[in-house]
Structure 1
Amino acid sequence: MVVVISIGMVLVEFPVLLGVIWIDDFKNKVPWGFCLFQGVAIQYGAFLQMSGGLCFAYQTYRLLVLNRQGITETLKKVYIALVILYPLIPTAILIYIAMKYDAIKPLTLNWLFGYSGSNFILSFVGVYYSGRAAVAVFRHLDRFKTSISSSRSHIQSAQTSESGQEELTISIDLEENTHSVVTSNTVQTSDLTKQIKVYNLTKAAAIRMVLFSCSFAFINFFASIQTVLIVIKGGKTIEKGLSGHDWVGALQGSIIFLIFGIPQNVRKFFLREARF
């Protein structure tokens, strides 16, 4: 689903970056066909990100809360249908309305509640609820860590049984996300390994959730600066040059990569270097 979200982000950013071709006089020189392409692509990309984010959130909930590993064929079909149909239906409605009322044209938004004033205000709501969710997740992690420690102590104290099972010795380092199992002849070891895996996944998901919400609030704040300045100046705008909106459109994809791409890539890089 991260791939779907990234594709949606590309569809949002690509038309924005193409607009740089007419940056000297966007309002008067840009062709109508490009305006139509830009409007449709940005709307479709935004809805595609929503569908991917919804599927990603639900799958994370199944993994971390319901403790269900993998994905069923039925659920996979639901995800595919949602990713395909959800962006198409509202985009088709928007295209119909835009064509009927000739709403697609070069436009300068001069109001605080246009782009990106409303986004900036609403993003704080998302940060608030993401913060509360992160606090709840980390409290859950504390209880989960205590449970894992108890399981570890129980396994380490196990002695050789009448059936001739060997004593288990397990070394766990939760902070470095590593664990090693010296000998394992019981189901308890497998359960403990699964618990550690869920703990690490939950911790990584909580950290990335907070980083993503805070980063999204920051880029919306950055985008709203020009909108607020326009309101202060009584609606006067500068038609030439790159605006804060343009920079935000170009940087959103980088934010997603920094949060979802770099941690795993850096880990793989250091593991590869350690082998040599």
Structure 2
Amino acid sequence: MVQFICYITSMSSICFSHEIYSLLMNHKQSTFFESKKGYYLLIIIYPLIMGIPLFIICFKTDAIVPRELKCDVANPIWVRLLGYSGANFILSIPGMYFSARSAYILYKHLDRFKDFSVNEDTSQSSQTFPNSPNSQIAQSPISRQFSQTKNNISQKRYSLTKEAVIRMSILSSSIILIHCLGSIGTIVSVLTHESLSTKVNLNDWAGSIAGICTFLIFGFSREIRNAWR
């Protein structure tokens, strides 16, 4: 079950990272995820594609053995490469790329991205108040209040996008770092043909650290803080 959740978490991270990347690069949603069917499809199918073969192999090879902390896949050691220590680690790399690329684009073109939102709203406002003999309404207090409201919405949308990219970059960086630390022991054991130690190691700590990092990144957001009040 833990491994199945790890599959879902990894695929969710890469899908979200790709969507943010598409929004920043093209200023629109990715066509693949436009209906969200592709998103749900990957989240459902990927864990099944990886989880079912892993379960069958573990059952056939009797790879699950008791360890000091829990029962885990330990012998033969190579079976672990199909799970958290292998497949999820590889999957976290493209997610890290999309997040890092998004953060780079955001900070490199920060003003340009902000101006895009403002110009888009200005264009919409000009369509709402076209040039006509009655165009004096554009100078009315109501019109100025409307323009200010649109600018506030643009600023809020810009701030939320920046905040989401920063959090996703930190999350993806944390995930790939944790997966790397959790995979070191398995990779070394596979290369040296040694069995996995039954004592607590970095791989056992990786899941707990991932949960803590996720809470620290998203648990102190503005929305979550307001929910606790």
TM value normalised by structure 1: 0.52
CA contact (8 A) 2:61 2:76 kept: no
CA deviation map 1:202-228 (0-9, x unaligned): 211221122113323443465468779
Separation in 2, partners of 1:252, 1:136: 26
User: What's the RMSD between the two structures over aligned residues?
Assistant: 4.9
Matches within 5 A, 1:127-276: 130-147=99-116, 162-163=133-134, 164-165=136-137, 167=139, 183-184=145-146, 192-220=151-179, 223=182, 239-240=198-199, 242-265=200-223, 267-268=225-226
CA contact (8 A) 1:117 1:224 kept: yes
Separation in 1, partners of 2:14, 2:92: 17
Aligned length: 208
Separation in 2, partners of 1:217, 1:201: 24
Task: Describe the shift of the 1:269–1:94 C-alpha distance in structure 2 as closer, same or farther (beyond 3 A).
Answer: closer
CA contact (8 A) 2:89 2:179 kept: yes
1:49 and 2:3 are equivalent in the alignment: no
Separation in 2, partners of 1:215, 1:254: 10
In structure 2, what residue type is equivalent to 1:136? I
In structure 2, what residue type is equivalent to 1:199? Y
Deviation at 1:182, TM superposition (A): 6.2
Corresponding residue for 2:70? none
Question: Which runs of no fewer than 5 residues in structure 1 stay unpaired?
Answer: 1-10, 13-41, 171-180
Deviation at 1:49, TM superposition (A): 1.8
TM value normalised by structure 2: 0.60
CA deviation map 1:25-54 (0-9, x unaligned): xxxxxxxxxxxxxxxxx1x22222233234
CA contact (8 A) 1:138 1:206 kept: no
Q: Which has the larger radius of gyration?
A: 1
Task: Describe the shift of the 1:130–1:66 C-alpha distance in structure 2 as closer, same or farther (beyond 3 A).
Answer: closer
In structure 2, what residue type is equivalent to 1:183? Q
CA contact (8 A) 2:13 2:95 kept: no
1:86 and 2:58 are equivalent in the alignment: no
Question: Which runs of no fewer than 5 residues in structure 2 stay unpaired?
Answer: 67-73
- Percent identity between the aligned chains? 35
